[in-house]
Chains A and B, each alone.
Chain A
Amino acid sequence: MPMSEHDHHTPPSDLALRVKALESLLVEKGLVDPAALDILIDTYEHKVGPRNGAMVVARAWSDPAYKARLMEDGAAAIGELGFTGRQGADIVVVENTERVHNMVVCTLCSCYPWPVLGLPPVWYKSAPYRARAVREPRAVLAEFGVTLADGVEVRVWDSTSEVRYLVLPRRPAGTESLSEDELADLVTRDSMIGTGLALTPGAKREPTP
């Protein structure tokens, strides 16, 4: 049983006050440096995001030797581009092919390759995806607008350890003449989780932030 009625059903409107009070307490006790908090927030809100992963994918599409290194040791190759840090010490890259489509989930919590994708979206951390991705992956893909050809094997990677998974989406046709930067623009966050495909050139959208 929970110890106090506050703990059991905190109405959402109290959360802001609760967190503020907790922060004040921890600052008062000299346990946190408020300026450090601001840098942590700025780093993951503005500096680290899926554009990192898009650049890794674009490099792998463009440079077969890089791709080979990426498939051999994901974290090391990703580190060559300067993307290192929390939740990315060990990264395995899984490649989509004509025969295999990969999808990543963390059924137990929200494990996600922060250095290449930033922080996970709410849907990735929520019960419907966590429950259904391993149970009915094709139905989940259909919700994301992805239909795979018959005979394609779906592999769902449940991130139960500290190894993090990054999907290498298939390179779209008609992209031979594109620069790495232009290729990166086609690589959506969802395509690197496996709930989407890379965009075809000419699809109108914002580049991956």
Chain B
Amino acid sequence: MNGAHDLGGMDGFGPIAPEANEPVFHAEWERRIFALTLAMGAHGAWNIDMSRHARERVDPGEYLRASYYEHWLHGLETLLVESGLVAADELAACYAAAPGNAAAPGNAAEDEG
């Protein structure tokens, strides 16, 4: 697909700005999504080409905004639901119930109609 991931030759990005002595992971959640993705891949419910395509299909604006491991999270969510390993409403419910989620029932200031 002619997606936002297809970046070769695109103009307008600034300096590369490498971080000196960069850690492998910048946050605990990055470690976990890395490992979850590899572990779930072992089920054989999808292949590496499917996993790349799942990451590519995120909204283009979101692709360019998101950090690298956010792409992995988006991708894993898509793969879990499309493969049937997790139902879409199961995933939505799990996130909605997560503590601190502003959109969880009871957490929002008012419900949208």
A16 near B29: Cβ-Cβ < 8 Å = yes
Whether A15 contacts B16 in the complex (CB less than 8 A), given A21-B98, A122-B22, A130-B8, comes out as no
Whether A129 contacts B6 in the complex (CB less than 8 A), given A19-B29, A31-B43, A41-B35, comes out as no
Interface of chain A, helix or strand or loop or mixed? helix
A109 near B19: Cβ-Cβ < 8 Å = no
CA distance A38 to B36 in the complex (A): 10
B7 near A127: Cβ-Cβ < 8 Å = yes
Interface status of A73 (Cβ within 8 A of chain B): no
12 pairs across A/B with beta carbons < 8 Å?
Answer: A2-B59, A14-B100, A15-B27, A20-B29, A23-B36, A26-B86, A37-B35, A49-B24, A110-B68, A121-B22, A122-B19, A128-B15
B18, B40, B52 — most chain A CB neighbours (10 Å): B18
* Contact surface of A with B, Cβ cutoff 8 Å: 2, 4-10, 12, 14-26, 29, 31-33, 36-38, 40-41, 44-45, 49, 86, 107-110, 118-119, 121-123, 125-132, 134-135, 140, 143-144, 158, 162
Contact of A26 among B40, B48, B74, B97 (CB under 8 A): B40
| Closest chain A residue, CB of each to CB of B76 | A22
A143 near B8: Cβ-Cβ < 8 Å = no
B7, B18, B65, B91 — most chain A CB neighbours (10 Å): B7
